[in-house]
Amino acid sequence: MIRLNINGSDREIEVDPETPLLWTLREDLGLTGTKYGCGIAQCGACTVHIDGVATRSCVLPVSAIEPGQKIVTIEGLSADGSHPVQQAWLELDVPQCGYCQSGMIMAAAGLLSQIPNPTDDDINTEITNICRCGTYNRVRAAIKLAAQDNGTQRG
């Protein structure tokens, strides 16, 4: 039995400790917003936050999560889609097919929590998620818009 704090709730799950977090989220907890792309930490489709840090969950065994660490998935980023990154994504119509986008959003939110006003170089370095539809330009624009909105909210 493993206890995980996910989206603010403690959950106890009977799972093989070597199971990647991605599969525990999707199959044991029904949190299917986090996607499977490559399974080898290359594409970013499986990105979640662990203690606020964007993390690829497809290669992280559940046993590697320390007691008390807080996991946030796309379902828990905000209660109602009001996170500045989600709002910027809506405003700029970022997704195309959408498959990579929850990972993109989680990566972007993680970046902005570490670097509130990222430069192009920061975005190039930190957002290495792969999008087969090529939404990269809109992702970049939406990250910058979310950074501005964040600044406005901070006032």
Q: Which residues form the interface with ligand FES (CB under 6 A)?
A: 36-39, 41-46, 56, 58, 95-101, 131-133, 135
Compute the least distance from the CB of residue 18 to ligand FES, in Å: 16
Q: Could you give the 3-state DSSP secondary structure of residue 7?
A: coil
Q: Which of residues 96 and 150 has its CB atom nearest to ligand FES in the complex?
A: 96
121 burial class (0-12, 13-18, 19+ CB within 10 angstroms)?
exposed
Greatest Cα-to-Cα distance within the chain, rounded to the nearest angstrom: 47
Q: Which of residues 33 and 95 has its CB atom nearest to ligand FES in the complex?
A: 95
Residue 74 near residue 86, CB atoms below 8 Å: no
The arrangement of strands across the sheet holding 47-50 comes to 9-13, 2-6, 70-72, 47-50, 53-56
Q: Which of residues 79 and 133 has its CB atom nearest to ligand FES in the complex?
A: 133
Q: Which of residues 74 and 151 has its CB atom nearest to ligand FES in the complex?
A: 74
Compute the least distance from the CB of residue 105 to ligand FES, in Å: 11
Compute the least distance from the CB of residue 155 to ligand FES, in Å: 33
